[in-house]
Structures are given as C-alpha cells and as structure tokens.
Structure 1
C-alpha cells in the first residue's frame, strides 16, 4: 500500500517550524515529527518511519544540522534537504559534504519548498537506480502532486505514454515522468517487457494467450518482437513456481 511521503522537520524557530509544517500538510505530505535539536530528531528517527528530512543547519544544542545530516547519512537511507539563512562558502562546503539532495535559503515560499522536495526526490530515485535491486525495492512516485512510496512488488503493469509512464497497482494508477527504456533498468527480474509500450509483473499474471497477458481486468498485448522471449520466461517462471 502506498502512502504520502513521511517527513521529519528539524527547525528551532517555532514560527518557521510551524509554517513549514502547515505548508507540507497543505501539499498533502505527512509530517511525522518536528524537532528543535538533534537529540529530539534522533528519537523521532528511531521510533517512527521517516522517509525524508528537512534540516535547519543552525539548531539548538552542540550538534548542528550538518552533524545530524551526517548521522542520518550513516544510519538511515533517506534523503535530506538543508534549510538555512546562511549561504557563505564555508557553510555550503560543510553541508555538501553530507551529500544533501537540496539546499533551501531562508526565507522561502511554499512553491520553493515544493520544488526543493520534488527535485530531491527525483535525485534520490536516480540514486536508488544505481543501487543493486533488493527484493522489496521501491520508488517515490508522484500522485496528485504528492510523492508516495510505492513498492515495486505492488506494481501490476506499466504502460508507456511517450515521456510518461502509467504505473498501475491494484490501489492506484501513478503518472511518472520517465521513458520505458530507462524505467525497465530499474526493475527486478520478475518484470518483463511484452511490447514497446508495456511492462508486466510476472507475479501478477492471471492468465495468458499467444498475443496477450491478463492481469486483473486488464489485457496486455504481446508483440511479435517479444513473443519468443516471453514464452521462454513464462515457462521458466511457471516451472519455478
């Protein structure tokens, strides 16, 4: 089941923290926790599922936002974006050393926060694509302008629409900006291209014929180009099953 991105906000100015939380909630994101310092943030990270962190660099306590970002980098596989009123070279150099997915200078508007999250998530997805694919691989995919975590084992099939893909699950259909060639390289071995415009999840196949595959109520075409390969893979899949 997919759900809106779960976000941690670390900001020690109460009004700014409240404003960011309101912005994120209005966008449709799930603000799981807010913290004034690194200790509070770590407690939230350890006790809740967090998928994204917004980190003010200058926060209460001895351990600043850069220290916290480094801690997150070492212990949690989640992207972070820095919030700061400082844009001097030394601050930027220290911040970049933690491999952030974005850097937002205060004061900022809601639209700028929205864009920073979108760019960060897209870059994070690209990073995931370079990692060896685990069994429960996932992507953050936008739905109604909000990124949601979608596990690939829930995807039934994918349909190409030029520079966009329709990623179909039993629950929702996501519209994701990517080409089918780029996206298939991101998928585990149980995904199979049946046509220049379609990819199917072998685990979701209900039945199949010479020229089609049935998944749920959907009939997915099999083109001549992929027919022999599909036949072999389906036979292999059935024998393993």
Structure 2
C-alpha cells in the first residue's frame, strides 16, 4: 500500500518519437533519473491511446512523427483536451516551425541531437516550476481519462448535452462530463452556478447586475432560480 502511494508521486512522462533508438535512449535516461515512462508513441493515434488510458504528467514531443499528423497536432490535442504540459525535442529549427511551436505554448524546446543532461535538467525545472502552480491545476478522472484542468484562467463552463465546454482566456476545452459532476470535482466554491447550463469562476466576476454578470469582459445571463447563489458575493467587484 505504501509503495502504491509513493508511485502516485512519481512523475510519468510520455515520449512521442518515431525514431525508436532515440525514444529508448530517452526512456532509459528517464528511468535512471527516477521518473516513470508512460509509454513510447510513434504517431498521433498511439499517443492519443496512451493519453486516454494512462496517467501522464508531461509529454516529450518531436515535430516529425509517423503518419499524417505531426507532433504539432499532438500538442494541440494536449492543449485543447488534456491541458498536459509538453516539451519539444526536435531537429526542426527553421523560422516557420519555431513560430508554430511558440504558438502552442510548450514548456520548453530542445534541439536535436539530444543531450541527456540537458533533457533531464529541463524536465526537472519544468516540474519544479509546476510545483509552484499546484493550486492552479486540478486533476479529475472521467471514466478512464485523467484531465489536468488549469483553474488559474478558467473563466466559466457551459453544458452541451453530455459534454462540458470550458472557456479559458485564450482557448476552449470540451470534455465528456455533466455540469454537476464537473463542479463537484473542482475546489469548493470555485465555480458558482448562474443558470441551468452555466457556472462561472468567482475569481473572474467583474460586476453583477440584476439579470447578468460580467466575466472577463463577457456578459453572462443569470437565471432567476440561481440568483440566490450570488447573494454572498460583493456587488462592488
């Protein structure tokens, strides 16, 4: 039992790389350094399958992988569906590729050929920085999938049939979950329900009117049945 609890604290890293010799070299380095390897994926499909079934704390990505979709597509998937941090390790360093990489907001970029010490040190720094943001992220389990929800800039959520769409400052994220269940998984009193289909992050409420409130410059309707949820909030926000 104690061993299992300790394993929960060990970070698990997914390697998305189609050059198996390099992938295995990185895997051995990770294991020797005390990390777990969530798996090696040579293409988008394999990466997605691992993400859906395995605990992953960080993804190491090459831009060029097997198949039609690239590591950039995997990065987009991580941003929009899982909110899992990732680090690019690639030989692509032309201006166009670097511009696309920067737009995806990776935690870092390492140029090939790889240096194990550089890779491991960069990973250590990433996890050290994430420690300072532990209150900004919440892991929730929906079925067999674990989602790393960044709550520091989560503005509000809306239900869409059997899904919940998360609205962030610069992006959106869709997960299969009921609104009620999602609210229950979040820190207490973080999200406040303002209608049957919408809940807002109280940290981003800028002002409250009689029939609507403003969240980060956007007006959101308040249903009469849910006005009571807002009574304790300061109307002079």
- TM category, shorter: 0.5 to 0.7
Q: Would you say the 8 A contact 2:16–2:43 is kept in 1?
A: yes
Does residue 68 of structure 2 align to residue 62 of structure 1? yes
Does residue 45 of structure 2 align to residue 39 of structure 1? yes
The 3-state SS of whatever aligns with 1:57 is: coil
Larger radius of gyration: 1
Give how far 1:38 is off: 0.6
Q: Who is 1:112 aligned against?
A: 118
In the TM superposition, 1:182-197 aligns within 5 A as none
Give how far 1:27 is off: 0.6
Does residue 116 of structure 2 align to residue 100 of structure 1? no
Q: Would you say the 8 A contact 2:78–2:84 is kept in 1?
A: yes
Q: Would you say the 8 A contact 1:101–1:124 is kept in 2?
A: no
Give how far 1:49 is off: 1.0
Give how far 1:120 is off: 2.1
In the TM superposition, 1:72-221 aligns within 5 A as 72-128=78-134, 131=136
Return the TM-score normalized by structure 2. Answer: 0.53
What is the root-mean-square deviation in Å for CA atoms of aligned residues? Answer: 2.2
The superposition leaves residues 92-133 of structure 1 with CA deviations (integer Å, 9 ceiling, x where unpaired) of: 11011111001011112211011111222234344555x3x7
The superposition leaves residues 173-205 of structure 1 with CA deviations (integer Å, 9 ceiling, x where unpaired) of: xxxxxxxxxxxxxxx99xxxxxxxxxxxxxxxx
Q: Who is 2:195 aligned against?
A: none
What is the CA–CA distance in structure 2 between the aligned matches of 1:76 and 1:134, rounded to whole Å? 11
Count, aligned residues? 136
What is the CA–CA distance in structure 2 between the aligned matches of 1:12 and 1:48, rounded to whole Å? 19
Q: Which runs of 5+ in 1 are unaligned?
A: 137-187, 190-241
What is the CA–CA distance in structure 1 between the aligned matches of 2:92 and 2:121, rounded to whole Å? 20
What is the CA–CA distance in structure 2 between the aligned matches of 1:76 and 1:86, rounded to whole Å? 25
